Structures are given as C-alpha cells and as structure tokens.
C-alpha cells in the first residue's frame, strides 16, 4: 500500500527530509573517498610549518593547494615576508633573464662551476659579518608563485656551500631574475 506525500504528517515529512539529506551527504562523501584525484585538505597549519620550519619541505599536496587557493598563497607570502631571516631583493629589472650572483645587505649568493664534476655548480652563500640567527634553509619563490625549499648545512667560516646539477630546479630558480629568495 502506498500513500501520497500529501497524506504524510509533518513529522513524517521532516523525517523523510532528514533521511534524504543524510543519504545525499553519504553519497557525496563516498564519491570523494573513491575519487583517485581527491586532494587532502591543506590548512594554515601546514603553511605555517613550511614558513617557519627549515626542514618542512613543499609537498605535492601543499603545492596543489597553493595553486588552487589565492588565500593560501597570500597567507604563505605574508608569513615568508614576516618570518624570513633575510629576503633577497629581486634582481634589477634591467638585468637579463639569468644571473649567477645576487647580493643583499650582509649576504652574497653565487653560482660557480665545479672543476670536479661535469655540469655541476657550487651554490655559495657568504654571510659576511652576519651575527644573527644562522639560516637553516634557502626558500625560492618563482615568477608563478611556486615555492622551493633547500635545507642548508651549518656555515663554516661564514660560508655555506652546496653542489647541484646545472639543470636542477634549484639552479634554474636561482638564475631566474624573477625568483624571490628568502633565508629561513
């Protein structure tokens, strides 16, 4: 025996609406769980950790969330500006698209060809007479707003030295005049 919707009481109609809402929510959750491209939620805590912890690297999930959320990008940009030990200014606009040296107040960053390995470069960060906190990471922000972080070893005699392949993402970003650099 079937009864019409009009024949239901107010309480029965409300119960049916709640049941429909619950089933609809379960269906949406189930579809999200079973999607292979489901993106985990990234919040301010992960962005804060990236901006403050020299060992917190950019994960694919954080990178994807930053591409999708202008608010997260603004939050990270603001955190990096406030928490960085030092921010290298962008290279002068008159410069060509590639550079091998950047200078800032008390810092110099140079790229120098290695004699020992083919297609290898030294990344040399000279701290000058800088006596504040030692940097733990070099953070780069490219022209598209994507971040890359390189943990740094402890300085020796005011100098930090890394060796990288010439075609690495790090070297390409360091040479690009549009890349912003932060010491963290």
Task: Yes or no: say if 111 and 165 are a contact pair by the CB < 8 Å rule.
Answer: no
- Classify residue 139 by burial, with Cβ atoms within 10 Å: 0-12, 13-18, 19+: buried
Indicate the pLDDT class of residue 145, thresholds 50, 70 and 90: confident
Q: What is the pLDDT of residue 137?
A: 93
Going along the chain, which residue ranges are E strands?
86-88, 101-104, 107-113, 120-126, 137-141, 147-151, 159-165, 180-183
Q: Give the SS3 label for residue 113.
A: strand
Of 22-26, 157-161, 172-176, the range with the lowest mean pLDDT is 22-26
**20: Cβ contacts below 8 Å, ≥ 6 apart:** none
Q: What is the pLDDT of residue 13?
A: 67
Return the number of other C-beta atoms located less than 10 Å from residue 21's C-beta.
Answer: 10
Q: What is the pLDDT of residue 6?
A: 66
Q: Two tokens at 156?
A: 């020796």
Q: What is the pLDDT of residue 8?
A: 74
Round to whole Å and give the CA distance between 79 and 152.
20
- Classify residue 183 by burial, with Cβ atoms within 10 Å: 0-12, 13-18, 19+: buried
Complete edge-to-edge strand list for the sheet that includes strand 137-141? 86-88, 180-183, 137-141, 147-151
Average pLDDT over residues 154-178: 91
pLDDT (tens digit per residue) in 105-125:
778 899 998 887 678 999 999
* Percent of the chain scoring above 70 in pLDDT: 77
What is residue 98's DSSP assignment?
B
Round to whole Å and give the CA distance between 31 and 66.
24
pLDDT (tens digit per residue) in 1-34:
456 666 778 887 677 667 666 666 676 676 666 6
Of 32-41, 116-125, 166-175, the range with the lowest mean pLDDT is 32-41
């Amino acid at each position: 025996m079937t009864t019409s919707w009009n024949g239901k009481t107010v309480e029965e109609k409300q119960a049916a609406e709640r049941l429909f809402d619950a089933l609809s929510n379960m269906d949406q959750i189930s579809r999200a769980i079973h999607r292979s491209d489901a993106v985990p939620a990234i919040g301010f805590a992960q962005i804060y950790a990236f901006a403050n912890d020299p060992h917190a690297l950019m994960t694919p999930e954080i990178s994807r969330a930053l591409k999708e959320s202008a608010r997260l990008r603004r939050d990270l940009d603001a955190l990096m500006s406030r928490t960085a030990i030092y921010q290298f200014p962008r290279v002068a606009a008159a410069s060509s698209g590639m550079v091998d040296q950047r200078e800032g107040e008390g810092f110099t960053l140079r790229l120098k060809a290695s004699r020992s390995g083919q297609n290898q470069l030294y990344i040399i960060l000279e701290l000058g007479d800088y006596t504040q906190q030692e940097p733990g990471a070099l953070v780069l922000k490219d022209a598209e707003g994507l971040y890359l972080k390189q943990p740094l070893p402890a300085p020796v005699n005011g100098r930090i030295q890394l060796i990288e392949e010439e075609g690495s993402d790090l070297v390409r970003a360091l040479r690009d005049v549009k890349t912003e650099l932060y010491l963290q």
